[in-house]
Structure 1
Amino acid sequence: MTGEQKESIHQMRAEKFSYSQIAASLGISLNTVKSYCRRNGLQGNLSQTAKGDDTVCQQCGKRLYQKQKQKPKKFCSDECRHAWWKDHQDQLHKKAVYVLTCAHCGTSFQSYGNKKRKYCSHACYIKDRFGEENAS
């Protein structure tokens, strides 16, 4: 593939041409166009790239490419998503928070997403399960 063809592919993808349209106009294989676009970050439907704050990862600032007919991405990876959730607990809208009482020590605790939980901690489970009492 020549440098002129590479430049043409970049320009045509920016103008929202499909892979098949690019391949036909440049006279090269469809798979060659797809491979080149994938290696250079030109894949997907570029007409649906997000504008404004949605174009970068909320955690690390890395550029995001949005795909058509998919929910817009907010994070570049699971690691960034988990880190953001950990740092921004106050901004999460948790709907399944249950206030329960520990079967061993009787203290009140919160459980997210599991209303059948019986113990506030693993230590209470072990003490209740194997009959060990608190030393206090």
Structure 2
Amino acid sequence: MNQQQKEKIIKMRRDGLSYSKISTALGISENTVKSFCRRNNLGSANKEFFFQRDGILCRQCRTPLIQTAGVKQKRFCSDKCRMAWWNDHPEAVNRKAIYAFTCPICGRDFESYGNKKRKYCSRACYGRSKAVRHE
């Protein structure tokens, strides 16, 4: 591998190209490209390949987001913003497993998320059901 190929590998890797695409473009073995990238901290574990896309902002605080090449696109700048946004927008949560019940103790209608075998609306009604059985 000559110096020109090394420079091309560095440029292509920074542009986000995979090892296989680089090896095909330069006519070098994929393993040679991988080992060169690892020796020069250009591997996939090294997250130094950042890029800025125009118009992509944090949903909560509206700061510009810096995306990492080859990784799922960010929507929030931090966990704090992510939690705040989801707490402010509960209607955006796609809840598919909501079940409707009537409590056998108090007769109140209630909903349960993710538990289709639930019987009581609260711990208090559950406690009353235990007291009724013992009498």
Task: Give the TM-score, by structure 1 length.
Answer: 0.52
Matched, 1:124 2:125: yes
In the other structure, the counterpart of 1:65 is 68
In structure 2, runs of 5+ residues without a counterpart are 1-5
Query: Residue 122 and residue 34 in structure 1: after superposition, are their counterparts in 2 closer, same or farther (change >3 A)?
Result: farther
1:1-136 equivalences under 5 Å are: 9=10, 11-19=11-19, 21=22, 29-34=36-41, 38-42=45-49, 55-59=56-60, 61=63, 62-65=65-68, 67=70, 74-75=75-76, 81-131=82-132
Cα deviation, residue 42, structure 1: 2.1
Task: Give the TM-score, by structure 2 length.
Answer: 0.52
Does the 8 Å contact 2:99/2:116 carry over to 1?
yes
Aligned length in residues? 116
In structure 1, runs of 5+ residues without a counterpart are none
Query: Residue 115 and residue 66 in structure 1: after superposition, are their counterparts in 2 closer, same or farther (change >3 A)?
Result: farther
Taking the aligned partners of 1:12 and 1:94, their CA distance within structure 2 comes to 42
Higher Rg of the two aligned structures: 2
Does the 8 Å contact 2:60/2:85 carry over to 1?
yes
Report the aligned-residue RMSD.
4.4
Aligned with 2:68: secondary structure?
coil
Aligned with 2:99: secondary structure?
strand
Cα deviation, residue 98, structure 1: 2.1
Aligned with 2:66: secondary structure?
coil
More strand by share: 2
Query: Residue 81 and residue 104 in structure 1: after superposition, are their counterparts in 2 closer, same or farther (change >3 A)?
Result: farther
Taking the aligned partners of 2:96 and 2:106, their CA distance within structure 1 comes to 26
